[in-house]
Chains A and B, each alone.
Chain A
Amino acid sequence: MNEIHNAPRDAQAQRRVVEKRVLIDLDRCIECQSCAAACYFSHANMPALSSARSGVALLPVVCRQCKSASCVETCPVEAMVRDENGVVRRRLFRCIGCGSCARACPFGVLPNAPTGVPAGYRSTDRLSGHQIAKCDLCADRDINDGDVPRCVAACPSGALLFADEHEAAKARLTVLGGRTTGEHPYKRR
């Protein structure tokens, strides 16, 4: 594998590994899609965050940053890599848009339209129109120093959290299935 994948060797690098994940609180998401709008405007109109129907709810679908990431393993051109912060990224100019990562993702997070990007989210950029959009936890933000990804910053109802399991537990939230917390979309409490 490449040098980026094997990068976090020393203690300093180990401390910078991002343990936090984007969690969604089902009891708070009001489907305003502010998260997707924020991702759209900050990722060259090619958002890595999309929305999916779950019964009557329309919920944001966010990459889980798996510890053992199938997308990294299957990418034939090493475009999908785990960087020094432990974040799985897509390297823009290596991606050939083959869709292997999309098919390998067990959670259906990566776009899987024939062209690599769902029709609604296809980039109009000629250089990136064929490529797979991938959440990089907003690489241009310093998430190790307390910053949060844009989708979390933009969430007006507090449904998206950027936290690890311990922080979620402190907020009396149970993390379910690695990404969600709360009881049920629209369950009346």
Chain B
Amino acid sequence: MIRTEDKQGRSRCTLCPATCEVQVAPKGPDTWRSEYPLENAGGVCPRGSSLAELLSCRSRILEPARRVSGRWVPCDFQSACREVIRSAAGKGVTILLDGNVAVEQLTAAAAWCMAWDAASLCLVGEPSEEQLLLGLEGSGAKYLDNDGLSTCDGFVVVGDAFSANPTCASAVFDRRASEPATPLVAIDPAAGKVSKFATHRIDTLPGMELATLAALIRAAGAEADVPTTAFCRDEISVAPSAKAAGTAIADCSRLGVLIVAEYGRCNAWRQIGFLAGRLAEARGGGTAPQTNGANALAAVRLARKLGGISLASALSADDTVRVAVGCDVLGMLGLQQPVIAAAAAGLSNVTTDSAQVVLPVAMPGEIGGTYLSAGARTLNVEPALSAPAGVCGPAQVVAELARAAGVAAPVGVAEELAGDPLGQAEPGPAPAWSDPAPLVLLLGRQAIHAGCGELTSHGSWQRALQPEAELRMSPRDADAAGIGNLAFVTVRVGDAAVRARVRFAPELAPGVMVLPEGISVARRLIPSTIDSDNDTLTATPVAAEVIVGE
């Protein structure tokens, strides 16, 4: 008999760059909860709290299945793999692998794909985050963790970093507690949590983050070090709020720049990352990108060094069979096409719902002996729980597919690849931004969503707290449309619609409304589009219609 204490596990939450330590403890005979080790400096936010619940979820995919006449029929792993390979007869196979799994898994999967002539590997991450990280890599700026942030004498925050990674708020507040005059400049058209605490909030409109950052750089007198006009096609007008903010950070000797590349915000993340990195360098500080998963930077570095194909290419290629491993690629991009032939996932999602073959896969919290390359740090990750019987990791899923295609075991790829910065060239100028529509829909990150939302799982906590999506709206816009606070509405963009509950947000600029980023139905309102010229995917704010009571 296994003693209860033997079942407890310690691990790290991999759902954001904070990588908090978590302890998983038994709650009942077959359910688990995340606990909080005493030495945990950062705490565990709702996503970390939900981690154990994800691992022991009752709707876990435990056996392979294939779709026959619209119904799921269970099958064994090898025959499911053979079915995928059969469907790829004469075509290539594109492996869409979750970029946020541990580096060992990424390199092992890459080795199999290199040995497999017909296969192409794409490491999947949020496209906006990928562009941001490429810009930061090109700037040569240092990456700061929370300890590094707490020594900064000024902060510039693009987007809602406190919601993306609640633990970074502690570092900022600690610094401000010891030095109350520390400036905190917020650039966020969605007026998230950071805006509420900012000493300086720069007035900006959706899609204008790059021009606003450029105006701040100009107002701070840093343009000699950080030339802005080469990257920004929009007119850079230094508003009074930007001028005051620029003056506040002008004398900083260690500036911390926190950035969140939220989905559906703008089309210039690479330029923003580059300018933000250069600004931080010029002021003796560093940057802290707050990504959806802890391993986004390692995935971007690995994808470039291993010669993987881009997500845009993977989705636009015609003569290929796509296999998604560990990622909800359609949900993440708000798409219903292209066809995904097979999807390996821990829990059902938008991608598995559309696939012809479904395979079970272990989740990062169940894979032992792995490590993450989180920013400048490398972290060991022990498994919180062991994977269910017969369920293997993402690299093993790729290996089984390759074996089914007759590929011999490959030589490994060096794991150290992930650790070196990329020597990225300066980005070109960003596309110009058109004037925003009268009522623009943005998506904003919420601490309670990412990691325990519909995109990645089915957290009971999220359903209890927010049974319906929350639409943040300026009271002025709501009054004009005859909408009361807490009213149920339908947000419609074209054929896609989301039912939501209105929450008045006086801090929002009129003409802007915000839905949570972490639910795939909201992302469907702002689907990503493939930019063939730049080989990227972009999602930008859209005009939306709000209908009361539907």
Contacts and interface: CB of A to CB of B under 8 A. Distances in A.
Given A188-B198, A189-B199, A34 B174 contact: no
Give chain A's interface secondary structure class.
loop
Contact of A37 (B18, B193, B448, B467): B448
Interface in A31-56: 31-34, 36-38, 40-42, 45, 51, 56
Nearest to B196: A186
A57 B170 CA distance: 18
Interface in B493-507: 505-507
A33 B467 contact: no
A33 B48 CA distance: 12
Given A40-B461, A120-B467, A28 B169 contact: yes
Contact of B170 (A33, A56, A157): A157
B43 A154 contact: yes
Given A42-B33, A189-B176, A32 B46 contact: yes
Contact of B464 (A121, A186, A188): A121
A84 interface: no
Size bracket, chain A contacts: 20 to 34
B163 A30 contact: yes
B72 interface: no
A120 to B, nearest CB: 5
B505 to A, nearest CB: 8
A24 to B, nearest CB: 13
Contacts of B49: 34, 37-38, 40-41, 154
Contacts of A154: 36, 43-45, 49
A189 B180 contact: yes
Nearest to A150: B36
A156 interface: yes
Q: Which of A41, A147, A188 has the most CB of B within 10 A?
A: A41
A58 B85 CA distance: 52
Interface in B335-373: none
Contacts of A31: 193, 447
B40 A153 contact: yes
Interface of A: 27-28, 30-34, 36-38, 40-42, 45, 51, 56-57, 120-121, 147, 150, 153-158, 185-186, 188-189
Interface of B: 18, 20, 27, 33-36, 38, 40, 42-46, 49-50, 53, 162-163, 166-167, 169-170, 173-174, 176, 180, 193, 196-199, 447-448, 460-461, 464-465, 467, 505-507
- Top 10 nearest A-B pairs (CB, nearest first) are A32-B447, A37-B46, A156-B166, A156-B43, A157-B169, A186-B196, A153-B36, A37-B49, A32-B166, A156-B167
